[in-house]
């Protein structure tokens, strides 16, 4: 594809219409640096279709600059920026002037007002109207070009949160992907404003990322955050602190709850240059809970989700099935709780290759991976799973697996009972008709016979009723879980949605996507 630079909307739209391509959009204000290039490179690596175009905009937006800020000083060099963007993998550059973005001037157009609860935090406290200008221009840009995907950096975290909220509330059907803050070898975050710093100021400014890094290391060891110590380090280097706070990453409000993911954020003045930086604090690795009814396809997509993102995979349903198989194979009455306790108290349940699709489950060193999918086990597992002793025993084992995090677990009560503090909770479901079709295909694949899809659907409805009405750990969606209805979706579609939901909760900086 020939790399092109467009300055008018008409030229860009005409070219895009001829390409008949999906647009991956990376908005910038120019001053292209390695952080921008990283976004472009990641977009290129993760193209999912041949006819996708990576479009980078360069527009210095006057609406987001305050009266005494650096609008006139901001770096502008289109030819250099275009070269750097093209070298990173951009297909086209869009560099409109003010009147291309705001025909007739900004007062001829609606303006977005960001909710005060989001604007009046962190950077917005001293930059009145700043995020209103950001929100207004991003809406103008995406309305002009209609991209399929928007790529943003996580360095401007508050901006990212505001744009996500904006798109959500306005029901804008554009996926937002974000990527981790990029830093030079010394740990200094790339920014277009770094060019303002003198050599001596650069040395002083280096204490900002160093202090945050040191604080993160101390937090991981001691589980404490000493803001006074951080402030002292910054002041010693003649940095003027605008804010230094621990906040909830999504509400952006100050928090003392350091048990969950939190954000240590700072803004300082080094000479006349304003710098921002942050680090995420987390006491353990992320836990993802995927719940839902039987036959919703949880196991299949959860295995692949775990594989693609590098998580340990825990199939809790398989654990209950393995116990059920053991009870059946020993001809134990499912209502004989004494016999069940006796056989389970010394039983050994384990997973092999649990990070990959080829997961095996063993009980007492017997591989029961295929055996537990039999119709007989399926018909009885709900009765076994509702017993208090069985539930307590397996819940304790599951929580042991997740003690250090780094785990994705699926089942029917993961988010509500096993991991109520999971960082991401998803309730994956499908209609009984859809689930019956999927169950029939699975049984055919495994060589089991069944009477009809209609009978399977009825069995599924009955099992749903039993699971939802049982006294112990009933099937229900956790209050803070996101529901995903998968009717009409293939495995790839469901997986994309799971990853998108995950990334809306867990930044790349906290859990980087492994290289393929």
Q: Which residues are tagged catalytic?
A: 36
- Report the b/e string of 43-75 with b at 16+ CB within 10 A: beeeeeeeebbbbbbbbbbebbbeeeeeeeebb
- Give the C-alpha separation, 359 to 246, whole Å: 40
- Give the C-alpha separation, 152 to 66, whole Å: 22
| Separate counts of helices (H) and strands (E) for the chain | 18, 17
- Give the C-alpha separation, 133 to 57, whole Å: 16
Partnered with residue 270 across adjacent β-strands are: 273
- Give the C-alpha separation, 249 to 516, whole Å: 28
What is the per-residue DSSP string for 123-179?
A: GGGTSTTHHHHHHHHHHHHHHHH--SEEEEESSSHHHHHHHHHHHHHTT---EEEEE
* CB-count burial class (<10 Å; 0-12, 13-18, 19+) for 179: buried
Residue/partner pairs of 106-110 with CB below 8 Å, 24 or more apart:
106/62, 106/63, 106/136, 109/136, 109/140, 110/136
Cα angle 306, 396, 223 (rounded to 5 degrees) comes to 75
H/E stretch holding 209: helix 207-222
476, 416 in Cβ contact below 8 A? yes
39, 182 in Cβ contact below 8 A? no
- Give the C-alpha separation, 426 to 31, whole Å: 39
3-state DSSP percent of the chain in helix, strand and coil, to 5: 45, 20, 35
The phi-psi region of residue 431 (left if phi > 0; otherwise alpha if psi is between -120 and 50; otherwise beta) is beta
Q: How many other CB atoms sit within 10 Å of the CB of residue 282?
A: 19
Q: Which residue has the tokens 């209050």?
A: 479
- Least Cα distance to 95 among 64, 44, 60, 52 occurs for 60
CB hemisphere CA count around 30 (13 angstroms): 19
Task: Return the structure tokens found at 139.
Answer: 């809406």
């Amino acid at each position: 594809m020939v790399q092109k630079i467009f300055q008018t909307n008409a030229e860009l739209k005409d070219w895009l219409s001829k390409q008949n391509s999906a647009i991956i959009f990376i908005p910038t204000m120019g001053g292209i640096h390695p952080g921008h290039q990283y976004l472009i490179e990641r977009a290129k690596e993760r193209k999912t279709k041949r006819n996708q175009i990576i479009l980078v905009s360069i527009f210095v937006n006057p609406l987001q600059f305050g009266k005494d800020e650096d609008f006139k000083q901001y770096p502008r060099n289109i030819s250099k920026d275009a070269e750097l963007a093209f070298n990173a993998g951009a297909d086209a550059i869009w560099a409109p002037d003010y009147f291309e973005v705001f025909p007739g001037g900004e007062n001829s157009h609606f303006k977005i007002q960001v909710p005060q609860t989001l604007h009046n935090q962190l950077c917005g406290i001293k930059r009145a109207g700043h995020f209103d200008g950001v929100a207004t221009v991003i809406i103008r840009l995406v309305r002009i070009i209609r991209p399929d995907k928007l790529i943003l950096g996580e360095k401007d975290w508050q901006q990212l949160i505001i744009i996500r909220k904006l798109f959500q509330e306005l029901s804008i059907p554009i996926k937002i992907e974000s990527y981790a803050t990029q830093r030079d070898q010394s740990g200094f975050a790339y920014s277009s404003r770094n060019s303002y710093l003198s050599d001596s100021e650069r040395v002083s400014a280096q204490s900002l990322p160093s202090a945050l890094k040191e604080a993160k290391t101390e937090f991981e060891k001691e589980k404490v955050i000493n803001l006074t110590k951080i402030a002292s380090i910054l002041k010693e280097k003649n940095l003027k602190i605008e804010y230094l706070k621990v906040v909830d990453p999504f509400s952006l409000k100050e928090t003392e709850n350091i048990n969950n993911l939190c954000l240590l954020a700072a803004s300082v003045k080094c000479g006349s240059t304003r710098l921002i930086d942050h680090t995420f604090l987390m006491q353990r690795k992320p836990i993802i809970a995927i719940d839902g009814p039987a036959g919703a396809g949880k196991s299949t997509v959860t295995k692949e989700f775990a594989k693609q993102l590098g998580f340990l995979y825990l199939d809790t349903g398989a654990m209950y099935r393995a116990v059920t198989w053991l009870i059946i194979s020993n001809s134990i009455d499912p209502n004989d709780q004494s016999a069940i306790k006796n056989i389970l108290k010394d039983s050994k349940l384990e997973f092999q290759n649990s990070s990959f699709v080829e997961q095996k489950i063993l009980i007492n060193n017997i591989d029961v991976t295929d055996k537990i999918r039999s119709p007989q086990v399926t018909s009885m597992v709900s009765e076994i799973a509702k017993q208090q002793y069985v539930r307590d025993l397996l819940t304790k084992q599951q929580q042991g697996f997740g003690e250090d995090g780094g785990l994705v677990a699926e089942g029917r009560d993961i988010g509500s009972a096993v991991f109520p503090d999971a960082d991401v909770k998803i309730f994956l479901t499908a209609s009984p008709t859809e689930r019956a079709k999927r169950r029939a295909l699975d049984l055919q694949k495994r060589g089991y016979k069944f009477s009809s899809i209609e009978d399977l659907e009825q069995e599924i409805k009955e099992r749903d009723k039993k699971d939802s009405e049982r006294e112990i750990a009933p099937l229900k969606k956790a209050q803070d879980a996101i529901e995903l209805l998968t009717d009409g979706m293939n495995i790839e579609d469901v997986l994309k949605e799971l990853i998108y939901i995950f990334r809306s909760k867990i930044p790349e900086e906290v859990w980087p996507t492994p290289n393929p």
